[in-house]
Amino acid sequence: MKRFGNLILLAAFVATPVMALQWQALPDTPPVPKDNPTTAAKVELGKMLYFDPRFSSTGTVSCNSCHNVMLGGEDNRPVAVGVEGQKGGRSAPTVWNAAYLSVQFWDGREPTLEAQAKGPVVNPIEMGMESHEMLVERRLRAIPGYRPYFEKAFGSGDVVNIDNFAKAIAAYERTLITPDSPYNRYVKGDKKALTAQQIAGMEKFAKVGCIGCHSGGAFAGPAKPLGEGFFMRFPTFTDNPYVEKYRLMDDGGRFEATGKESDKHMWRVPTLLNIALTAPYFHNGAVETLDEAVRVMARTQLGKELPEQDVADIVAFLNALTGEFPKQTMPRLPATPAAVISDIKK
Amino acid sequence: MKRFGNLILLAAFVATPVMALQWQALPDTPPVPKDNPTTAAKVELGKMLYFDPRFSSTGTVSCNSCHNVMLGGEDNRPVAVGVEGQKGGRSAPTVWNAAYLSVQFWDGREPTLEAQAKGPVVNPIEMGMESHEMLVERRLRAIPGYRPYFEKAFGSGDVVNIDNFAKAIAAYERTLITPDSPYNRYVKGDKKALTAQQIAGMEKFAKVGCIGCHSGGAFAGPAKPLGEGFFMRFPTFTDNPYVEKYRLMDDGGRFEATGKESDKHMWRVPTLLNIALTAPYFHNGAVETLDEAVRVMARTQLGKELPEQDVADIVAFLNALTGEFPKQTMPRLPATPAAVISDIKK
C-alpha cells in the first residue's frame, strides 16, 4: 500500500491530466484494528458515551459538543470551547471519516481513534476531568446504568474501564462515515454525479497540484498503516501576506508534540471530505471561507496565485466531497446518581 | 376544570385516604393551543432548531444543552451554564412534560411553550443573541437550508420569523412527554405496576399532604387554562434550618418577574414527573438528593418532620413517576454558510 501511495504522489506532482489511477473512491468501510472489532453493542454504548456531558468536570461538555455529528462533525468555530468557557488552541477537526485516517489530532500525535478518545476528557481546557482514574471512578462506574451496556459489549468482569470506554467510542466513530459523496459516485462510474464545473474543478485540483498531498479516497494522503502519519509542512512558502494575516507560523504543529526541530510546522494532511461543512479552516480556524482557504493553500503550499475561475472551480469540486450522512437514532443516557450530582463542578 | 381542581385540592388538604378521585393519570396527549396545531413538519423543524447551537452568540449552546432530552430533560446541574461559561440564576427545569404545564419558567412568567422558547435565545447569560431581529437575520435566515423546512411547516412567504421559530420548537416539545410511567399504568388499572413500598409511599404522599399542591396527572397542581398558573409560597414555614442551609429565601421568585409584593417567594408548583432524574432540586438546585428534597418540602411546606421510613416510601413512590421515553431520531442540521461563520462570537 505504501509503494502504491508513493506512485500516486509522484504521478500527481508531475501535473498529469485526470487519470483513472489517481482518483480513488473512499472504501465502503474504514479499517478496524484487530483488537477492537466493531459490534452493534459497542456502537450503541459508544454513541451513549459520545453524547454524555457527564464525562466533563462541569457536566456540560460531551464529545459531540465540539465534534457535532448533527453538523459537519465539528463546531464551525475557529477554536473549540471547553468547560467553563475556556477556548482551545486549535480548531476541532471533524469526526466524520476520522476512521479512515491513520493518525489522529492535527499533529498526528495519537495513532488510533481509541487513543484519541482518551485525550479530550482529561484536557483541562476541554472536558477537564482530573485523570482517567477520576473519570472511571467518579463518573463512569458511578453511573450504574452503564454497567449492563459495558457487559453486553465487553463481557462480564472488570469491563467498566478507560480502555473499553475508548474502544466503544472508537467503534461508534467507525460508523460515522460518508462514502456516498457525489465525487465517490462519480469515480465509481456515475458520470452524472458531478456538474461540468465540478469536473473542471477536479481536473484543476490535480493539475494545480492539490492532489499531491490530498490524495486517496479520504483526500488525506496515501494510505498508511494505522499509527503512521502523512505529514506536510504548512506553510511551505512563507513569502506571502497570508502567513502573517492568518497567523500561520504561530503554532509549531507536530513540534509541540514531539519536540523535534524537524517537526516544526509539520501537520497531518487533513481529510477534505465534507470540507464545505467545516469552516472556518486550518488548525487555527483563521480562514472563514472555502475559496479563501483554496487561495491560501495554493499560495503557501504550491507557490501559486490561482485565477479566480480556478478557485471557483476547485471550490465547486470540493463541494462534491460532501457525503450523505447516515440516519441515526438518539441515545438515551442512564440516570445520574447522587454521587455524580455531587461530583459535578458547580 | 377549575372547579374540579379545587375540589381535589380541598380533599387533599384534609388528609384523606387514597381514593380513586384524587389520583389522575397523565392524559395521553398534552393540550395544544388553537393557533399552533401540531404537525409532523413542525415537529421535524422544531427538533432541528432545538438541537442547533448556532442560535447562540458563540455557536455553542442549544436548547438541548440545558434541557437535555437524552437525560431527564435538563442538565443535572444546580444552575445552567450558558455562553462563555456564564452561570444562570436558577436551575434548568425539565422539558419533559412541560407541554402539560399551564405556565412556563420557575416563576410562571410566560404562558405558553411558544412564549418560553423566545426567552433563552436572547438572555445574555444563556444563549446570548442580542435580539430576536439579530437571531432571525444573522442566523435563522442566514442559514438557507432552513427555508424549505419552514415552508413545509408554515407555507410559503415570509415564514422564516421568530414566531414560527417558537411555534416549531413548541410543537416539538409537545412530543416530549412520558405518559407511560409505572404510576400512570397503576392508576389506569395495572395493579402490578407499583411495588408494595411504592403503594405505601403513594398513600403517605397523600396523607402527609404533598398532594395538596402536587396534584393532577402532572403532579403540578390542578389543571388550569393555558397562561393561568398554580403558584405557592416556598418556603411557607421559615422557622427551620433548611431555609438558611439551602438559601431558600435568596430568590424572590415570581416577585422578580411581577414586582408585586404579594408575589414574593411565590413559585409555580413544578411537575414531579421524572423527578428521580432531575437532581439537584429546587429553583436554585441547592439540594442534591431526592430524600433530602422530600424532607425539606415536608418541613418548609407542611411544617412536618417526616420519619425516615416515610421519606423512603415517598421517594420510592416518586421513582414510579419516571416515564418511558419516546425513541427519537437524531436531526441533521443544515450547512453553516460563511455569513454565520463570520457572525459567530469568537
Reported as a pLDDT band with limits 50, 70 and 90, residue A299 is: very high
Reported as a pLDDT band with limits 50, 70 and 90, residue A22 is: confident
Q: Do B332 and A54 touch (CB under 8 A)?
A: no
* CA distance to partner chain A, nearest, from residue B277 (Å): 6
What per-residue confidence (pLDDT) applies to B157? 94
pTM comes to: 0.94
* 3-class secondary-structure state, position A110: strand
Reported as a pLDDT band with limits 50, 70 and 90, residue A26 is: very high
pLDDT digits (tens, 9 = 90+) for B283-328: 999 999 999 999 999 999 999 999 999 999 999 999 999 999 999 9
On the question of pLDDT at A305 being above 60, the answer is yes
Distance separating alpha carbons of residues B142 and B125, to the nearest angstrom: 23
Distance separating alpha carbons of residues B308 and B306, to the nearest angstrom: 6
Angle at A146 between CA A145 and CA A148, to 5 degrees: 85
Residue in the block written with cell 393519570? B25
* CA distance to partner chain B, nearest, from residue A227 (Å): 32
pLDDT digits (tens, 9 = 90+) for A68-101: 999 999 999 999 999 999 999 999 999 999 999 9
Q: Which residues contact A317 (CB under 8 A, 6 or more apart)?
A: A183, A194, A197, A198, A199, A200, A201, A202, A204, A205
Closest partner residue to B51 (CB to CB) among A70, A336, A346 is A70
Residue in the block written with cell 410566560? B110
On the question of pLDDT at B73 being above 80, the answer is yes
What per-residue confidence (pLDDT) applies to B21? 62
Q: How far is CA A40 from CA A52, A118, A153, A172, A175, in A?
A: 19, 21, 8, 9, 10
On the question of pLDDT at B202 being above 60, the answer is yes
ipTM value for the complex: 0.93
What per-residue confidence (pLDDT) applies to A21? 62
User: Grid coordinates representing B282?
Assistant: 429546587
For chain B, what percentages of helix, strand and coil (3-state, to nearest 5) are there?
45, 5, 55
What per-residue confidence (pLDDT) applies to B67? 98
Mutate to test the interface with A, among B45, B126, B315, B330 (most CBs of A within 10 A): B330
Residue in the block written with cell 435566515? B141
Which is the catalytic residue, given B74, B110, B114, B126?
Answer: B126
* 3-class secondary-structure state, position B253: strand
Interhelix angle B290-302/B308-319, rounded to 10 degrees, is 110
* CA distance to partner chain A, nearest, from residue B25 (Å): 24
* CA distance to partner chain A, nearest, from residue B272 (Å): 16
Residue in the block written with cell 395493579? B191
- Give the largest CA-CA distance in chain A: 64
User: Grid coordinates representing B69?
Assistant: 432530552
Q: Do B77 and A344 touch (CB under 8 A)?
A: yes
Distance separating alpha carbons of residues A119 and A110, to the nearest angstrom: 9
User: Grid coordinates representing A248?
Assistant: 500561520
Distance separating alpha carbons of residues A221 and A210, to the nearest angstrom: 11
Q: Do A333 and B70 touch (CB under 8 A)?
A: yes
Mutate to test the interface with B, among A56, A330, A340, A346 (most CBs of B within 10 A): A330
Quick one: what percent of chain A has pLDDT higher than 90? Answer: 93
pLDDT digits (tens, 9 = 90+) for B235-279: 999 999 999 999 999 999 999 999 999 999 999 999 999 999 999
Contacts of A52 in chain B (CB under 8 A): 70
Quick one: what percent of chain B has pLDDT higher than 90? Answer: 93
What per-residue confidence (pLDDT) applies to B22? 84
Q: Do B329 and A329 touch (CB under 8 A)?
A: yes
What number of C-beta contacts closer than 8 Å exist between A and B? 110
Q: If you measure CA to CA, which chain A residue comes closest to B335?
A: A277
Ramachandran area for residue B124 (φ above 0: left; ψ -120 to 50: alpha; else beta): alpha
Closest partner residue to A344 (CB to CB) among B65, B76, B328 is B76
pLDDT digits (tens, 9 = 90+) for A313-340: 999 999 999 999 999 999 999 999 999 9
What per-residue confidence (pLDDT) applies to B9? 45
Give residue B96's identity as a one-letter amino acid code. W
Closest partner residue to B58 (CB to CB) among A52, A81, A277 is A81
* CA distance to partner chain B, nearest, from residue A176 (Å): 13
Q: Do B77 and A86 touch (CB under 8 A)?
A: no
What per-residue confidence (pLDDT) applies to B1? 39
Distance separating alpha carbons of residues B287 and A85, to the nearest angstrom: 25
Reported as a pLDDT band with limits 50, 70 and 90, residue A214 is: very high
Higher pLDDT, A13 or B68: B68
Q: Which residues of A touch B (CB under 8 A)?
A: 51-54, 58-60, 65, 68-72, 75-78, 81, 83-86, 276-277, 279-280, 288-289, 325, 327-333, 335-336, 338, 340-342, 344, 346
Contacts of B59 in chain A (CB under 8 A): 75-77
pLDDT digits (tens, 9 = 90+) for A28-71: 999 999 999 999 999 999 999 999 999 999 999 999 999 999 99
**Domains in chain B, start-ordered, CATH in brackets?**
2-28+178-319 (1.10.760.10), 40-177+327-343 (1.10.760.10)
* CA distance to partner chain B, nearest, from residue A341 (Å): 7
Mutate to test the interface with A, among B70, B246, B281 (most CBs of A within 10 A): B70
On the question of pLDDT at B74 being above 90, the answer is yes
3-state secondary structure A10-52: HHHHCCCCCCHHHCCCCCCCCCCCCCCCCCHHHHHHHHHHHHC
Contacts of A336 in chain B (CB under 8 A): 71-72, 76, 277, 279
Q: What's chain A's average pLDDT? A: 94
Q: What's chain B's average pLDDT? A: 94
